[in-house]
């Protein structure tokens, strides 16, 4: 199977590596020739995964046309802010009817769209060939061959199973899911909560605060997710609570690390510069509070994050506001048809 992976950051490199290990013919595309040359000739990517040895069969190019030539599967793995540009550049270069997959955990910054809604703008007839790769998967562990589970979510069973078969290995277990929206929202929105947990740790709070943020954060994610058509069981799965746990607890997480630096008193600019890679939670916070407001949904943690990130509120004051909210019930009612999704 010929696969083009567009984006040679941490996750693009790790996914391309896993696919090449699975005997796929993989070409990874990046803009930076230093990175493609390193991957192609030295089988390393020191900027993004300094400790990893990559498969010798993995090819790399800065020429998008070469990467996409005869590709049967195209996987977009750039930060969400770059997705529109890369989808636009790649569209005229696609041949045949490849599966269009993405592994991006964020929203289009201009329109607030999910990544498959963005893809649909450019490929309105290809919905059945869309697939989302989501779930708890830090690139640093995947590239080391440490056991990992992920989700392939697609509108059709055939597409989901094609990606499942492509990625499954002794160390990478892939589950399918028909709930594309839920998988995407879980992946994008958990980044907000990871920023919050990082802030709590940076402030010196304890495990109780961490558990509270993760649990009530998941409630917020499910609440807006249901309004947007996702199924609640997806949020109890790998792309929901699974990814929330890994991102809020792993030192690999760029969102968690950014939050921790904020809690320790760094400015957002300082924290982002120190982390130096894609931190999707910042834009996701902005989009989440817009979505919450337009759908009449309460997202107090996202609002508190927005105050800290964009309005200069000291993190400790934001926590005091959260703790001082009016009393509420814990559990909300969910309609039966919103519990799980299924293919026909």
Ligand X SMILES: NC(=O)c1ccc[n+]([C@@H]2O[C@H](COP(=O)([O-])OP(=O)(O)OC[C@H]3O[C@@H](n4cnc5c(N)ncnc54)[C@H](O)[C@@H]3O)[C@@H](O)[C@H]2O)c1
On the 0-12 / 13-18 / 19+ scale of CB atoms within 10 A, 305 is buried
Least distance to ligand X from the beta carbon of 276, Å? 8
Q: Which residues, other chains included, contact 185 with Cβ-Cβ below 8 Å and sequence gap of 6+?
A: 114, 221, 224, 225, 228, 230
State which residue, 281 or 315, has the beta carbon closest to ligand X: 281
- 11 labeled part of a ligand binding site: yes
* CA–CA separation, 251 and 239 (whole Å): 19
Q: Which stretch binds ligand G3P (CB under 6 A): 19-27, 45-53, 197-205, 252-260?
A: 252-260
Q: Write down the least CB distance from residue 318 to ligand G3P, Å.
A: 20
Residue 243 interacting partner from ligand G3P, ligand X, none (CB closer than 5 to 8 Å by kind): ligand G3P
Residues linked to residue 132 through DSSP beta bridges, in sequence order: 102, 153
- Which pair of structure tokens corresponds to residue 341? 């999704």
Tokens coding 76: 């977009």
231 binds, among ligand X, ligand G3P, none (CB under 5 to 8 A by kind): none
Q: How far is the CB of 77 from ligand X (least distance, A)?
A: 5
- The strand pairing partners of 60, in sequence order, are 28
Least separation in angstroms between residue 191's CB and ligand G3P is 6
SS3 (DSSP) at 138: coil
* Of 197, 119, 192, 111, residue with least CA distance to 159: 119
Q: Is 271 annotated as a binding residue?
A: no
> By CB under 6 A, is residue 184 in contact with ligand G3P?
no
Minimum CB distance to ligand X smaller for 78 or for 341: 78
User: Does 190 qualify as catalytic in the annotation?
Assistant: yes
Q: At what angle do helices 315-323 and 300-311 cross, to 10 degrees?
A: 160
Residue from 86, 84, 31 nearest 60 by CA: 31
Residue 51 or 342: which CB sits closer to ligand G3P? 51
Least Å distance, CB 344 to ligand G3P, is 30
In the bound complex, what is the minimum distance in angstroms from residue 280's beta carbon to ligand G3P?
6
- Among 53, 65, 170, 190, the one annotated catalytic: 190
CB count within 10 Å of CB 325 equals 10
**Cβ contacts of 89-98, under 8 Å, gap ≥ 24:** 89/64, 90/6, 90/64, 91/122, 91/123, 93/64, 93/65, 93/68, 94/68, 95/68, 95/69, 95/70, 95/71, 96/70, 96/72, 97/126, 97/129, 98/4, 98/71, 98/72, 98/73, 98/74, 98/129
Residues in contact with ligand G3P, shown as a per-residue x/- string from 68 to 107 under the rule CB under 6 A:
-------------------------------------x--
Binder of residue 103, out of ligand X, ligand G3P, none (CB less than 5 to 8 A by kind): ligand X
Tokens of 316: 């400790």
Please indicate if the annotation marks 60 as binding a ligand: no
Q: If binding means CB under 6 A, how many residues of this protein chain bind ligand G3P?
A: 14
When the beta carbons of 245 and 334 are compared against ligand X, the nearer one is 245
> Which residue positions form the known binding site for NAD(+)?
7-12, 139, 254
Give catalytic residue positions. 190
> Which residue positions form the known binding site for sn-glycerol 3-phosphate?
105, 135, 137, 190, 243, 253-255
> Which residue positions form the known binding site for NADPH?
10-11, 31, 48, 105, 139, 254, 280
Please report, as ranges, the residues that interact with ligand G3P according to CB under 6 A: 105, 136-138, 191, 194, 243, 246-247, 252-255, 280
């Amino acid at each position: 199977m010929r696969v083009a992976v567009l984006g040679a950051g941490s996750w693009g490199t790790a996914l391309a590596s896993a696919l090449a290990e699975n005997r796929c013919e993989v070409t990874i595309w990046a803009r930076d020739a230093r990175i493609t040359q390193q991957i192609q000739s030295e089988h390393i990517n020191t900027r993004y995964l300094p400790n990893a040895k990559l498969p010798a069969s993995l090819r790399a190019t800065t020429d998008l046309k070469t990467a996409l030539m005869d590709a049967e599967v195209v996987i977009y793995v750039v930060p969400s802010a770059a997705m529109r540009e890369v989808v636009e550049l790649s569209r005229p270069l696609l041949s045949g009817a490849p599966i269009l997959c993405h592994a991006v955990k964020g929203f289009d910054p201009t329109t607030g769209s999910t990544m498959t809604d963005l893809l649909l703008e450019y490929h309105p007839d290809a919905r059945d060939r869309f697939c989302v790769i989501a779930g708890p998967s830090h690139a640093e562990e995947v590239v080391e061959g440490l056991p990992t589970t992920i989700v392939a979510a697609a509108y059709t069973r055939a597409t989901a199973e094609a990606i499942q078969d492509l990625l499954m290995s002794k160390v990478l277990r892939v589950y399918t899911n028909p709930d594309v929206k839920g998988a995407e929202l879980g992946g994008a929105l958990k980044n907000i909560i990871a920023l919050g947990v990082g802030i709590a740790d940076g402030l010196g709070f304890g495990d109780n605060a961490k558990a509270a943020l993760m649990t009530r954060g998941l409630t917020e994610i499910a609440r807006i997710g249901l309004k947007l058509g996702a199924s609640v069981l997806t949020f109890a799965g790998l792309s929901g609570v699974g990814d929330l746990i890994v991102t809020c607890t792993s030192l690999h997480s760029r969102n968690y690390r950014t939050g921790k630096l904020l809690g320790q008193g760094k400015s957002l600019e300082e924290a982002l510069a120190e982390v130096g890679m894609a931190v999707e939670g910042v834009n996701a916070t902005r989009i989440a509070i817009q979505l919450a407001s337009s759908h009449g949904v309460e997202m107090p943690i996202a609002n508190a994050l927005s105050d800290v990130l964009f309005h200069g509120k000291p993190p400790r004051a934001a926590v005091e506001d959260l703790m001082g909210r009016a009393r509420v019930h814990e559990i909300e009612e969910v309609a039966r048809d919103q519990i799980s999704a299924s293919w026909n």
